[in-house]
A and B are shown apart, each in its own frame.
Chain A
Amino acid sequence: MSIGHALLGLLEGGPRHGYDLKRAYDERFGHDRPLHYGQVYSTLSRLLKNGFVSEAGVEAGDGPERKRYAITDAGVTDVERWLGTPEKPEPYLQNTLYAKVVLALLSGRSATEVLDTQRSAHLGTMRDLTRRKTDGDLADQLICDFALFHLEADLRWLELTAARLDKLAEEVAR
């Protein structure tokens, strides 16, 4: 997640203090990983240096938390560019699980065990997400569904691999 772009996007609604921004970010996107204040201020100072935000008034007192930030035209252009650029689809080729299965087969250990252990861990996480989803609002549902669909894809791969283990064992043994 590009925190800079997310903060810029939030600033499009109007100028805000750093702590306001952090709260808004955490509420919408940071449920599992809230921002540190340090992160917010270092990101803001980078955005300031690049001309994507400007200072919009300082309250009495000192310290960074007194400053309000506003998005600039250059910042709006940058958000637009970010939204218009697709995220790079994950290549998913550095597959640790595949390596574990092959190494289990090569060493005469149980590859089924590797697959079963992983399936069980995946389903455990899926259960937690399902619970959070059923107790939550629409935002929770969408965030959890994203994770659930990805975990489900892994599980499909685990099942498919379990069904092909005999064949894979033959090929690995060659």
Chain B
Amino acid sequence: MTLLTAEGLYKSFGKTNALDGAGISIREGEVVAIMGPSGSGKSTLLHCLAGILPPDSGTVTYRDRELTTMNDGARSELRRTEFGFVFQFGQLVPELTCLENVALPLRLSGMKRRDAERASKEWMARLEVDTVADQRPGETSGGQGQRVAVARALVTSPKVVFADEPTGALDSLNGERVMHLLTTAARETGAAVVLVTHEPRVAAYSDREVVVRDGRSRDVEFVR
């Protein structure tokens, strides 16, 4: 079943047309790679899909709800409850321990500290980073930090995980470990993953790919 659909997205920054009529459709539980050269509009497309950035025109629909016409409060509520996010780096709060970072989204939803930390520990074990629970993000390796970020993205049982170059700052072995654990966990929980990457070996963890060129997306499966 289709979960998330974008149609006819346009977005410009000054004179740059970052999106020029892009569209994409994400089904429940699938892992989709958004590929394309640097500057082609991949991140902009992801931000519009996730309701982080409003497009100039076009629609984004999650289930039967249109993100583009929702008010800010409803949109951030949707992001908090239905979506998870992993970025290239810099997403963890440096002052908190890794465990507190993972627990943060649950705490923000009003869960009690003990319950939040218990659930977080389970996710950290699944991502093989329970050993760094009491360390601060700055004290972990890049690969561990990204796996903590994945645990944080998954801890709320989101329906969609948005990952923008999640392995971009890692060497290939660590990058593949992150991808393996992320896609395995997502498949087990039924979460869809929207993965922006320009690396083919990372994209190979997906079920299918959508290519963005000059702000226009080409959905391989839909073209055929």
In the complex, are the beta carbons of A116 and B201 less than 8 A apart? Answer: no
* Alpha-carbon distance between A73 and B37 when the two chains are bound, in angstroms: 56
Docked-complex contact A152 and B200, CB < 8 angstroms = yes
Q: Closest approach, in angstroms, between the C-beta of A44 and any C-beta of chain B?
A: 39
* Contact A151 B37, CB 8 Å, known A116-B211, A134-B180: no
Q: Which residues of chain A from 124 to 174 have a CB within 8 Å of any chain B CB? A: 126-127, 129-130, 134, 148-149, 151-152, 155-156, 159, 162-163
Query: Which residues of A in the span 72-90 have a Cβ within 8 Å of any Cβ on B?
Result: none
Complex interface residues of chain B between 198 and 224 (CB less than 8 A to chain A): 199-201, 203-207, 209, 211, 213, 218, 220
In the complex, A82 Cα to B180 Cα: how many Å?
A: 37
Interface centre among B184, B199, B220 (most CB of A within 10 A): B220
Chain A proximity of B31: nearest CB distance (Å): 10
Instruction: Establish whether residues B201 and A148, one from each chain, have CB atoms under 8 Å apart when the complex forms.
Output: yes
Chain A residue contacts of B184, Cβ below 8 A: 134
Are B204 and A126 in contact, with the CB atoms below 8 A? Answer: yes
Bound complex: CA of A126 vs CA of B220, how far in Å?
A: 16
Question: Would you call A163 and B37 a contact (CB within 8 A)?
Answer: yes
Closest B residue to A113 by beta carbon equals: B223
A120 touches B201 (CB 8 A): no
Contact of B204 among A116, A120, A129, A162 (CB under 8 A): A129
The verdict on A123 contacting B218 (CB below 8 Å), with A129-B204, A148-B204 known, is no
The B interface is mostly helix, strand or loop, or mixed, namely mixed
Question: Is the beta-carbon distance between B201 and A152 smaller than 8 angstroms?
Answer: yes
Q: Of residues 24 to 53 in A, which have CB atoms within 8 Å of B's CB atoms?
A: none
B201 touches A123 (CB 8 A): no
A134 to B176 Cα, complex, angstroms? 10
Given known pairs A116-B211, A152-B200, the reply for A130 and B205 (CB within 8 Å) is: yes
> Smallest CB–CB gap between A117 and chain B, Å?
9
A42: shortest Cβ distance to chain B, in Å? 38
Q: How far is the CB of A29 from chain B (nearest CB, A)?
A: 23
Q: State how many angstroms separate the Cβ of A108 from the closest Cβ of chain B.
A: 20
Q: Are B204 and A127 in contact (CB under 8 A)?
A: yes
CB interface residues, B 161-210, toward A, < 8 Å: 180, 184, 199-201, 203-207, 209
**B49: shortest Cβ distance to chain A, in Å?**
21
CA distance A129 to B200 in the complex (A): 12
The minimal Cβ–Cβ distance linking A137 to chain B, given in whole angstroms, is: 15
**B201, A126: Cβ atoms closer than 8 Å:** yes
Give every chain B residue within 8 A of A151 (Cβ-Cβ). Answer: 200
Report how far A152 CA is from B180 CA in the complex, Å: 18
Q: Is the CB of B180 within 8 A of A120?
A: no
Partner-A contacts on B (CB < 8 A): 37, 180, 184, 199-201, 203-207, 209, 211, 213, 218, 220
Spell out A's residues near B (CB within 8 Å).
Answer: 116, 119-120, 122-123, 126-127, 129-130, 134, 148-149, 151-152, 155-156, 159, 162-163
**Pairs A–B under 8 Å by Cβ, sample size 15:** A116-B218, A120-B209, A123-B209, A126-B200, A127-B205, A130-B205, A134-B180, A134-B184, A148-B201, A148-B204, A149-B201, A152-B199, A152-B201, A156-B200, A159-B37
